């Protein structure tokens, strides 16, 4: 993980300036400058994380201050990992993760490829396309519930207009079959631009002379696309997938506003379920264990992924 492209980007090691003129030593300044940040992160990130680990072995409940706290060992973990309802939440999360990444990569890459044809005004349109991703997911997600209303919503109207299916005959957020797709659609709408921007950077990093050489070799456009464009953009694309993957694994705000996890528990992603356990049922110890499991999962998956990413980059 220390070998990620992110850390690499930071590796422009500055040469040490031995010069010490009046005032504090460089070493002292360095620590004075870095210390507050580290301290803040220790206080608001690391200390809480350690506390969470500790709580995860207890039956503590934050809403029952007067109750005795007992050590329960690994029982919380055991309960979570053997709970079939939680596995359903995990499946919902996996479905969401897979399909949002699939569509965002597909559409994002296509858009970037089209924009890279450098038509007139492509900068302006790129900026317009980017807008949704910068907006508050909670506020926008809330408004999408209005667009998805069967009887009055614009989305259902558009479907009726395009396909002739009556607008009030299907419920994007209320139906068991459609709701998982409804959240994929909104997330794709919001975050495709993210993948697009990164792909665009990848496409623009390919020097023209490579294509010129290919032209001279009379390689077909199709062949150029698969042998030059795709491999050169792949590391960028994989980086985009990493970012989106981590974000969507943690997904909370957008989906909570859209479906609240419903109907039933069909779209109850891991974070939504965790929020219910931690802040509505107040099973603090249990949900701490849940949080640790989620964190380890993200971290583990991301580490494996980064290894793969680095292999691709080395090729």
CA distances, 124 to each of 127, 129, 198 (Å): 5, 9, 17
Closest contact distance (angstroms) between CB of 111 and other proteins is 6
Q: How far is the CB of 92 from other proteins (least distance, A)?
A: 12
Closer to other proteins by CB, 131 or 231: give it. 131
Is 110 or 231 the residue whose CB approaches other proteins more closely?
Answer: 110
CB nearer other proteins, residue 99 or residue 282: 282
From the CB of 223, what's the least distance to other proteins, in Å?
15
Which positions ≥6 away from 281 have C-beta within 8 Å?
Answer: 287
Please state, as a whole number, how many other Cβ atoms lie within 10 Å of the Cβ of residue 52: 18
Residue carrying the six token digits 């992110």:
6
Per DSSP (E only), the strands in 69-199 are: none
Residue placing its CB nearer to other proteins in the complex, 43 or 102: 43
Coil, strand, or helix at residue 60?
coil
Q: Which H or E element spans position 204? A: helix 179-204
71 forms bridges with which residues in the sheet? 58
Give the CB-side neighbour count of residue 228, counting CA atoms within 13 A. 20
Least spacing, CB of residue 291 vs other proteins, in Å:
3
Residue 305 Cβ, how far from other proteins at the closest point, in Å?
Answer: 12
């Amino acid at each position: 993980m220390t070998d990620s492209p992110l850390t690499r980007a930071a590796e422009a090691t500055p040469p040490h300036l031995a010069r010490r003129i009046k005032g504090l030593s460089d070493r002292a300044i360095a620590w004075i400058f870095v210390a507050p940040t580290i301290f803040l992160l220790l206080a608001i990130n690391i200390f809480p994380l350690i506390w969470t680990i500790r709580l995860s072995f207890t039956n503590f409940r934050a809403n029952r201050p007067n109750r005795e706290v007992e050590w329960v060992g690994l029982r919380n973990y055991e309960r979570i990992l053997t709970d079939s309802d939680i596995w359903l939440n995990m499946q919902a999360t996996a479905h969401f993760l897979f399909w949002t990444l699939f569509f965002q990569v597909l559409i994002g890459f296509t858009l970037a490829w089209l924009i890279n044809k450098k038509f007139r005004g492509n900068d302006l349109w790129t900026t317009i396309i980017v807008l949704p991703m910068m907006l508050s997911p909670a506020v926008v997600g809330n408004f999408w519930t209005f667009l998805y209303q069967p009887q009055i919503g614009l989305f259902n109207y558009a479907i009726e207009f395009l396909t002739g299916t009556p607008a009030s005959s299907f419920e994007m957020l209320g139906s068991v079959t459609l709701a998982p797709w409804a959240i994929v659609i909104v997330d794709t709408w919001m975050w495709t631009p993210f993948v697009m921007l990164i792909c665009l950077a990848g496409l623009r990093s390919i020097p023209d002379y490579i294509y010129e050489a290919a032209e001279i070799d009379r390689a077909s456009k199709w062949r150029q696309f698969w042998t030059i464009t795709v491999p050169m953009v792949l590391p960028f694309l994989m980086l985009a997938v990493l970012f989106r993957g981590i974000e969507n694994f943690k997904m909370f705000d957008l989906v909570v506003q859209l479906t609240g996890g419903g109907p039933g528990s069909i779209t109850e992603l891991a974070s939504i379920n965790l929020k219910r356990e931690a802040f509505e049922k107040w099973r603090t110890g249990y949900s701490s264990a849940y949080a640790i499991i989620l964190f380890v999962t993200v971290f583990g998956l991301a580490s494996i992924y980064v290894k793969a990413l680095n292999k691709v980059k080395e090729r």
